[in-house]
Amino acid sequence: MQKESIWITGASGKIGKAIMNRLKKQVDYRVVGTDLDVDITDQDAVEQSMDVYRPNIVINCASLSDAYYCEDHMIEAFRVNALGARNLAAACRQHNAKLIHLSTDDVFCGDGSHGKTEFDVPTPRTVYGKSKLAGENFVKELTPKHLIIRSSWVYGGKGDYISSILEKAERGEEITAPLDQISSPTSTEELAHFIEVMLDKKEYGIYHASCEGACTRHEYARTILHLAGYDPNLEHGTYNEKDGAIATTLLENLMLKMTGIYDMPPWREELERYMGKYIKND
Ligand X SMILES: NC(=O)c1ccc[n+]([C@@H]2O[C@H](COP(=O)([O-])OP(=O)(O)OC[C@H]3O[C@@H](n4cnc5c(N)ncnc54)[C@H](OP(=O)(O)O)[C@@H]3O)[C@@H](O)[C@H]2O)c1
Q: Which long-range contacts (CB under 8 A, 24 or more apart) does 26-34 make?
A: 26/196, 27/3, 28/1, 28/3, 28/4, 29/3, 29/4, 29/5, 29/199, 30/3, 30/4, 30/5, 30/6, 31/6, 32/5, 32/6, 32/7, 32/8, 33/7, 33/8, 33/9, 34/7, 34/8, 34/9
* Closest CB to ligand X among residues 160, 272: 160
| 181, 216 contact by CB (below 8 A) | yes
Q: Which of 6, 7, 8, 15 binds ligand X (CB under 6 A)?
A: 15
Angle between helices 127-142 and 84-95 (to 10 degrees): 20
Query: With binding defined as CB under 6 A, does residue 184 bind ligand X?
Result: no
* Closest CB to ligand X among residues 102, 175: 102
Q: Which of 6, 7, 8, 16 binds ligand X (CB under 6 A)?
A: 16
* Closest CB to ligand X among residues 61, 97: 61
Query: With binding defined as CB under 6 A, does residue 136 bind ligand X?
Result: no
* Closest CB to ligand X among residues 56, 103: 103
In angstroms, give the least distance from the CB of 146 to ligand X.
Answer: 14
Cβ-in-10-Å burial (0-12, 13-18, 19+) of 98 comes to buried
**Which residues make beta-bridge pairs with 50?**
none
Query: With binding defined as CB under 6 A, does residue 107 bind ligand X?
Result: no
In angstroms, give the least distance from the CB of 45 to ligand X.
Answer: 9
* Closest CB to ligand X among residues 103, 253: 103
Query: With binding defined as CB under 6 A, does residue 40 bind ligand X?
Result: yes
Query: With binding defined as CB under 6 A, does residue 14 bind ligand X?
Result: yes
Query: With binding defined as CB under 6 A, does residue 65 bind ligand X?
Result: yes
Instruction: Look at residues 181, 196, 190 and name the one whose alpha carbon lies nearest to residue 211.
Output: 190
Which DSSP category does 5 fall into? E
Query: With binding defined as CB under 6 A, does residue 102 bind ligand X?
Result: yes
In angstroms, give the least distance from the CB of 83 to ligand X.
Answer: 9
* Closest CB to ligand X among residues 45, 234: 45
Q: By CB under 6 A, what part of segment 79-98 binds ligand X? A: 80, 84
Give me the sign of the Cα torsion angle 31, 32, 34, 39.
negative
* Closest CB to ligand X among residues 193, 234: 193
- 118's enclosing H/E stretch is none
Instruction: Look at residues 165, 193, 80 and name the one whose alpha carbon lies nearest to residue 131.
Output: 80
Query: With binding defined as CB under 6 A, does residue 131 bind ligand X?
Result: no
Q: Which of 126, 152, 183, 223 binds ligand X (CB under 6 A)?
A: 152
**Residues found near ligand X in the complex (CB under 6 A):** 9-10, 12-16, 35-36, 39-41, 61-65, 80, 84, 102-104, 132, 151-154
